[in-house]
Chain A
C-alpha cells in the first residue's frame, strides 16, 4: 500500500488529494453560507416587497417561490440538484418567466473573467519585471522608487485609486470612458477600451504584492552558496538571477500570483460598482441583499472553487519547478 502510494507521481497525488479536500471544502462553504444567509432577518418575499409588504402578499409570494417550506428541506433539495449538475432557478423566476441561476451567472462570470484576465496580462508581467529589476539593482534609487510607488498605490483604497484615475483619464483629459458598461454584443476592441480604467485600477492594487514577493524571494536566494559559486565563476548579475535564482524562487512567487488572481475574480465588487461593470460581485451583493438563496449559493461555490483551483495550480507549479519536490528521495 505504502509502496503504491510512493509509486504515484507526486503531482498526481497532490492533485487528487487536493481535489478531494476541495469537494469537502465546497460542502462546508455551502453549509456555512446557507446558515449565515438564513440567519439574516427577513426573506426574499419581504425584501422584494419592502415597504409595500402586507402579510397576505408576503404569504402569496412565499408560496409561489417555495419559501413556505422549512430551511433544512430547501437546503437538501438544493444539494440534490447541485450533485446532478443543476443550479436551479433564481427566486426572481415567475410562472412563465424562468430565470436559471446558470443563465444569470454565466454572462457575469464571463465579464469578471475577462476583466481579471485583462488585468493579469498587464499586472503579472509588470510585477515580475519590476521585481526582478528591483532585485537586480537592489538598494538603488530605482529599487526605492519602484517600492515606494507600488506601496503607495496598494495603500490607497481601491475606490480612491479608481476615482483618481477617472478624474484624470476620463473627466479632465477624456481619454478613456468612465463607464465600463459592456453587454454581450460589445465588440472585443471596445470591450478592451472600456475596461482599461478598471484594469488599470486593479493593476495598481495588486502589483505591489507580487512585485515585492518576487524581489524578496530572489534576494533571499542571492545569499545562498550556489549563487555565490555562480558569481565566482564570473557570470553576469542578470544571468545569475535569471538562470539560477529565479527557477528556485518560483514557488513563493506563484503562490502570491495565485492569491492575487483569486482576488481579481472574487473581490473586485467595489471596482465593479465604481465603473458600473456588470461582473459577478455585484450580482452576489444584490442576491445577498434580497436573500436570493440559489444565486448566493452558486456564487459562493464559484468563489470557493476559484480559490481551491488557483491554489492547486500554484502548488503544482511549485512542485514542477522545484526538482527536490518533483523527484523526492
Chain B
C-alpha cells in the first residue's frame, strides 16, 4: 500500500486532522482539488466559498418543456424552474424531515384539518417585489379547479380552500392530514408572483429562488445568475444547465472538463469513471422504485395466491446484480423506502423460492400458470432485461411468463393502467400517506394495481389525521404488511441515483427525495 492510500484510510477513519491531512497530501504531491475531494467524501466539514460558474449536464429535457410548473415533466424543468430559481413553502432536509422554506413556520389546528403557514419576512421576487400571501394563494390556485391540467392537482384534491390572512396562508382541508407540509414541498408547487386578476405569472420566470433565470432554451439548456437578495447563502455566481441526452456525450463532457456534474451515469462504464482521480461518483438510494404491477381485479391476478406465487417467482437479487449492476436495494413488495418515517420491512421476506411458488399454485388449484407481462424501457431503463430475467426464474418454478415488448412512446398512455401485468416506476414520495393516496387508495386515479382493500383504505384515512405517533406507526406498519401480503405490486428494487462530478466542486450530504441533490444542486454545492 502506498503512502497516499494510507493517508486516505487515516482520513476515512478520522485518525488525522483536516489540516494535517492537507499538509501531508501536499507533501506527497497530491493536488489540492483531489485532497479536498477526499476530505469531503471522508465526511470532514468544509467551509463553502463563493464564486465561480457551475455547469452541469442533464440527461432529461425536451424542446416541449416550459416554465409552467403544472406540467414540469422531469429533472430539467425541476432543476431550472424549481430547485435553482424557485422555492416552495417547505422543503425536505437530508434526514427526510420537512422544514420551512418560504414559510417560516407551519402549524396544524382542528385535528390537522386546517394548516396555517407563516410567510418568511423580507423575501422578494427577482424583480424586487415583496412576496405576499396573495402570491402564494395564486400559485396554489394555478393547480386547482376544473380547468387545471396540473400534475399536482391530485395532491391538492383534499384542499377545499386556500386563503391569505395577513402574512399567513390558511389551507382548509376536507379531511385531517398530518403530512400536509410534506405535500407543500413538491417541485410542482413553486411560489410565483400573482397578477392583478388573481392568476399567476409563471411565464416571465420571475421567482424567489437562489438564482434568477437569464435564459431558458427548452431542450438545449438554461443560464442562471445568483440572486443577491436570496434569504440564504448561495455560493456560485453563475449556474448553467446543459441538456445532453446521450450518456456517452455527457460522460465525455465531464471527463474533458466542459461540465462539472453529470446525472445518470452509464452503469456499465461507471467503474471506469471511478478510476479517474479527478472525478467523484455519488450514489444515492432514494424513494424511487422499479416495479411490476398486476391488476388485482382481473383473472388470474384476482387470486392472492397467484399474486404471491409471482412474488416468490422473481429473483430480485439476480436482477439487481445483472440489470442494475448492484446500484440499488432489493425490494420486498413494500413501496415505502427504508429511510421513510414509519417504514417497516414486512415478514416473510419475499425472495426467490421455487418450492413456495409450486405450493402456492397448488393452493390456488393450478398446475401451471401462463401470463403476459408488458414491458418497455419507457417504464424504467432496464425493464425489458428485468422482464426477461423474471421469465427465466419463473420458468424454473413452473410459471410461463410471456414477455411482451411494448412501444416506448405511448407506454404510459396505452399500456400502463390498461394491460393487466406491466412494468412501472414510481419516483416515490417522502411520506407514506402521499405514496398510498397516489397509488394504492381504492379511488386513486393512479391505482395501477386496482387494489381495493377495505381495511387498508380505512387505516389510510385514520392514519392521515392521527397525531399520536405511536398509533400512527402501528397503523402504517399494518398497511405496509397488508400491501406486502395481499397487494398487486412486485417491488423489484429501490433504484439508486448515480451521478459523477469533478473534484473541483464540493458538496455536503445529498438529498434523497429527488435526483441531482434533490434538484437543488445549484444552491447546495460550491467550488472546492
Contacts and interface: CB of A to CB of B under 8 A. Distances in A.
- Same assembly: yes
A273 B195 CA distance: 39
A283 interface: yes
A177 interface: yes
A40 interface: yes
B253 A60 contact: no
A183 interface: yes
Interface string B134-155: 0000000000001111110110
A48 interface: yes
A289 B445 contact: no
Given A50-B412, A53-B412, A94-B68, A276 B242 contact: yes
A97 interface: yes
B153 A178 contact: no
A46 interface: yes
Given A163-B248, A273-B245, A276-B244, A42 B409 contact: yes
A186 to B, nearest CB: 12
Contact of A174 (B218, B246, B256): B256
Contacts of A171: 252, 255-256
Given A276-B243, A283-B63, A286-B219, A52 B256 contact: no
A49 interface: yes
Closest 8 CB pairs of A and B: A41-B410, A52-B151, A61-B149, A42-B413, A54-B445, A178-B252, A286-B63, A57-B149
B382 to A, nearest CB: 17
B256 A41 contact: no
Given A54-B445, A94-B66, A177-B258, A273 B249 contact: yes
A58 B259 CA distance: 37
A181 interface: yes
Given A42-B410, A179-B249, A286-B62, A51 B416 contact: yes
B271 interface: no
B414 interface: yes
B221 A170 contact: no
B211 to A, nearest CB: 18
B266 interface: no
Interface residues of A, number: 52
B446 interface: yes
B156 to A, nearest CB: 12
B147 A179 contact: no
10 contacts: A46-B412, A48-B71, A49-B151, A53-B412, A54-B446, A171-B256, A179-B259, A183-B217, A274-B249, A276-B249
A276 B73 contact: no
Interface string A163-203: 10011001100100111010100000000000000000000
Interface of B: 62-66, 68, 71, 73, 146-151, 153-154, 201-203, 215, 217-221, 242-246, 248-249, 252-253, 255-259, 407, 409-410, 412-414, 416, 424-425, 445-446
A322 B68 CA distance: 59
B260 to A, nearest CB: 13
A70 interface: no
A276 B413 contact: no
A282 B221 CA distance: 14
Given A49-B71, A49-B149, A290 B64 contact: yes
Q: Which of A41, A104, A287, A295 has the most CB of B within 10 A?
A: A41
B183 to A, nearest CB: 15
B151 A60 contact: no
A58 B65 CA distance: 17
Contacts of B257: 174
Q: Which of B151, B217, B221, B259 has the most CB of A within 10 A?
A: B151
B197 to A, nearest CB: 11
Given A42-B414, A51-B412, A171-B256, A290 B62 contact: yes
A292 interface: yes
Interface in A121-177: 163, 166-167, 170-171, 174, 177
B129 to A, nearest CB: 18
A48 B150 CA distance: 11
Interface of A: 40-42, 45-58, 60-61, 64, 90-92, 94, 96-97, 99, 104, 163, 166-167, 170-171, 174, 177-179, 181, 183, 273-276, 278, 282-283, 286-287, 289-290, 292, 295
Nearest to A275: B249
Nearest to A45: B149
A71 B283 CA distance: 47
A42 B406 CA distance: 14
A196 to B, nearest CB: 14
A290 B407 CA distance: 14
B147 A60 contact: yes
Given A53-B413, A171-B256, A179 B64 contact: no
Nearest to B444: A54
A60 B71 CA distance: 12
B62 A179 contact: no
A295 B203 CA distance: 21
Q: Which of A52, A57, A60 has the most CB of B within 10 A?
A: A52
Contacts of A104: 63
A49 B150 CA distance: 8
B424 to A, nearest CB: 8
Contact of A178 (B215, B258, B446): B258
B309 to A, nearest CB: 28
B246 A274 contact: yes
Contact of B252 (A60, A94, A166): A166
Contact of B73 (A48, A97, A166): A48
A50 B64 CA distance: 13
B248 A47 contact: no
Q: Which of A40, A47, A51, A99 has the most CB of B within 10 A?
A: A51
